[in-house]
Amino acid sequence: MAEPIFDRLAIIGAGLIGSSIARAARDYGAAGEIAIVDASQQVMARVRELGIADDAGGDMAQALKGADLIIICTPVGVCGVVAQAIAPHLEKGAILSDVGSVKGAVVAQIAPHVPAGVHFIPAHPLAGTEFSGPDAGFATLFQNRWSILTPLEGADASAVARLANFWTRIGAKVETMSPEHHDKVLALTSHLPHLIAYNIVGTADDFGEQTRSEVIKFSASGFRDFTRIAASDPTMWRDIFLNNREAVLEMLGRFNEDLSALQRMIRRGDGEGLFDFFTRTRAIRRSIVEQGQDTSAPDFGRR
Ligand SMILES: NC(=O)c1ccc[n+]([C@@H]2O[C@H](COP(=O)([O-])OP(=O)(O)OC[C@H]3O[C@@H](n4cnc5c(N)ncnc54)[C@H](O)[C@@H]3O)[C@@H](O)[C@H]2O)c1
Ligand SMILES: O=C(O)C(=O)C[C@]1(C(=O)O)C=C[C@@H](O)C=C1
């Protein structure tokens, strides 16, 4: 196997993403040693049982000793608190990164705590499931998925390249963009779809007992897909919406306008309008599939 890219990887937060990175870093030889710290004693106990870290003692100073890559894998809302807690233990030359689904707010939370000589390079792997916790993770989660790096102005190019190598080693394709651009794109491609899923499942639930049981009984695959997404972690998604408020509200405004246009077509019996619209959206789906970007097959990248 090729040389490890980092000597010691420290992961803060061992849920779906943190535990998947730990498993992948070990399986693909991306890090020499792996240390894991989590605020939950229950999670730490499970990490020890699963044997996914070389150091699962749970002591922060010990975990960060000699760490040349530290990845914060907690919910977005606590990134700043975590950065403040780890700052005194970060060593010169180390790379500090994260996996938060929002970048602008995460940068604002973490950057003020980064000591001089430490390279802060935010990241976001576009890979996940509706499950959370250390048992939900798996080593192949990042295979053929994008990992977006959002280095700040003046970031050290060799540190960025080293982090990109790490993600490539564990199977991801890497793209670089600004935090602001990331937040706009993801507001549309990830955050809005989750909001729509939460909403439609909530609407079905509000209809009451009889509809609820019929929803379960007659659930067609389209609706079932929404229920999978709507089962995603409430803490994670509360934090995403509170921390990407502006971009989500902008996309939601445009979405509502387009939905009103469709509503008008239905009311007016505008079959041609509906047909043209659906033809346009079908072409988008087909081009995604043609470019090999469709990873929605039931067992793709999953256990
Ligand atoms: N789940 C996904 O699909 C997905 C995909 C890409 C990125 N992300 C991002 O990754 C991050 C983690 O998501 P996840 O799905 O792994 O969540 P998760 O709920 O599975 O795990 C989060 C872990 O962080 C721990 N934690 C919470 N506060 C902490 C603190 N102060 N110090 C140390 N540990 C703490 C929790 O105990 C938990 O084990 C989030 O920021 C999320 O936005 C998630
Ligand atoms: O497949 C899923 O369950 C996901 O929702 C994963 C998903 C996404 O929207 O694609 C969710 C949030 C993350 O920030 C990245 C990936």
DSSP of 29-49 = T-EEEEEEE-S-HHHHHHHHH
Query: Could you tell me if 120 and 204 lie in one domain?
Result: no
Q: Is the four-CA dihedral 54, 233, 260, 282 of positive or negative sign?
A: positive
Query: Could you tell me if 169 and 200 lie in one domain?
Result: no
Whether residue 253 is contained in a domain is answered as: yes
CA of 102 to the centre of ligand 2 (A): 12
Query: Could you tell me if 169 and 209 lie in one domain?
Result: no
39 has a pLDDT exceeding 80 = yes
Which residue pairs, CB below 8 angstroms and at least 24 apart, start in 296-301?
301/127, 301/140, 301/141, 301/143, 301/144, 301/145
* Alpha carbon distance 169, 183 (integer Å): 25
Q: What is the pLDDT of residues 91-134, one digit of tens each?
A: 999 999 999 999 999 999 999 999 999 999 999 999 999 999 99
Query: Could you tell me if 10 and 60 lie in one domain?
Result: yes
Whether residue 53 is contained in a domain is answered as: yes
Q: What is the pLDDT of residues 262-295, one digit of tens each?
A: 999 999 999 999 999 999 999 998 888 888 776 5
Query: Could you tell me if 46 and 163 lie in one domain?
Result: yes
Among 161, 177, 193, residue at a domain's last position: 177
Query: Could you tell me if 165 and 185 lie in one domain?
Result: no
208 has a pLDDT exceeding 90 = no
Q: What is the pLDDT of residues 211-267, one digit of tens each?
A: 777 877 778 778 888 999 999 999 999 999 999 999 999 999 999 999 999 999 999
CATH number of the domain residue 189 falls in: 1.10.3660.10
**What pLDDT shows up at residue 221?**
77
Domain tally for the chain?
2
Whether residue 197 is contained in a domain is answered as: yes
- Residues in contact with ligand 1 (CB, 6 Å cut-off): 12-18, 38-40, 43, 73-76, 78, 81-82, 99-101, 125, 128, 132-133, 233, 236, 240
> Which protein residue has the closest C-alpha to ligand 2 atom 2?
129
Query: Could you tell me if 147 and 225 lie in one domain?
Result: no
CA of 74 to the centre of ligand 1 (A): 4
The angle, 0 to 180 degrees and rounded to 10, between the axes of the packed helices 192-206 and 234-243 is 120
pTM (predicted TM-score) = 0.94
* CB contact at 8 A, 118 and 92: yes
Residue range(s) defining the domain that contains residue 105? 6-177
For residues 76-98, one letter each, b for 16 or more C-beta atoms within 10 angstroms of the residue's C-beta and e for the rest, the string is bbbbbebbeebbebbeeebbbbb
Query: Could you tell me if 150 and 190 lie in one domain?
Result: no
Query: Could you tell me if 146 and 18 lie in one domain?
Result: yes
Q: What is the ipTM of this complex?
A: 0.98
- Residues in contact with ligand 2 (CB, 6 Å cut-off): 101, 126-130, 190
CA of 215 to the centre of ligand 1 (A): 31
Task: Tell me the average pLDDT of the chain.
Answer: 94
DSSP string, 193-231: HHHHHHHHHHHHHHT-HHHHHHHHHH--HHHHHHHHHTT
Whether residue 302 is contained in a domain is answered as: no
Whether residue 59 is contained in a domain is answered as: yes
Among 150, 177, 204, residue at a domain's last position: 177
Measured from the CA of 232, which atom of ligand 2 is nearest? 3
CA of 190 to the centre of ligand 2 (A): 6
